[in-house]
């Protein structure tokens, strides 16, 4: 085999690896024992805001589970926190939420740019968050975690098509 052929083959392998690189993180479970379930898109006024992927055990509605949002638009952390609170209130008929939840989310969630991700991990004792794979911290309150993840997983969600896509059984 000639050196130019070896170079072309190496270049092809490099390009294929580079093209697959953004998808590599989507295959890795955020917690041991979880497997990838479904994924889908969230759009607002026709614009793609983020792509979501769910990891869970045998029951995707019970912790532990993880939800990764891959943002396709720039958003402020404060806007993410406010939208989360709005959705949580809407699911519970505008029931009051502890002010500390909104303050904690506003402190935790960074401004995101297209290409960034936030992963929420729902455990029995609360929620924990990662930003581009780095630790952000969490909220050690099981009720917060239940209500936060209900934004996507509750049957009354404002995004029923996304919920259906997330809950699609692997291989289905």
DSSP symbols for the chain: --HHHHHHHHHHHHHHHHHHHHHHHHHS-SSTT-EEEEEEEEEETTEEEEEEEEEESS-TTSSSEEEEEEESS-B-HHHHHHHHHHHHHHHTTT----HHHHHHHHHHPPPB-TT-EEEEEEETTEEEEEETTEEEEEE--HHHHHHHHHHHHSTT-S-HHHHHHHTPPTT-
pLDDT of residue 151: 98
CATH class of 29-166: alpha beta
pLDDT of residue 93: 80
**Average pLDDT rounded to a whole number, residues 143-167:** 97
Model confidence pLDDT, tens digit, residues 80-138: 999 999 999 999 886 788 999 999 999 999 999 999 999 999 999 999 999 999 999 99
What residue ranges do the domains of the chain occupy? Answer: 29-166
């Amino acid at each position: 085999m000639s050196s130019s052929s070896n170079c072309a083959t190496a270049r092809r392998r490099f390009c294929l690896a580079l093209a697959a690189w953004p998808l590599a993180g989507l295959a890795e479970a955020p917690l041991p024992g979880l497997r990838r379930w479904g994924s889908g898109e969230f759009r607002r006024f026709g614009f793609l805001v983020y792509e979501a992927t769910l990891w869970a055990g045998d029951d995707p509605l019970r912790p532990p589970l993880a939800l990764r949002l891959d943002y396709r638009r720039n958003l402020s952390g404060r806007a993410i926190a406010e939208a989360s609170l709005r959705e949580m209130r809407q699911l519970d008929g505008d029931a009051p939420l502890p002010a500390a939840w909104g303050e904690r989310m506003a402190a935790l969630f960074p401004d995101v740019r297209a290409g960034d991700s936030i992963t929420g991990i729902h455990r029995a004792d609360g929620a924990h968050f990662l930003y581009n794979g780095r630790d952000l911290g969490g909220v050690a309150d099981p009720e917060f975690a239940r209500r936060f993840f209900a934004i996507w997983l509750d049957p009354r969600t404002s995004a029923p098509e996304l919920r259906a896509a997330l809950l699609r059984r692997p291989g289905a």
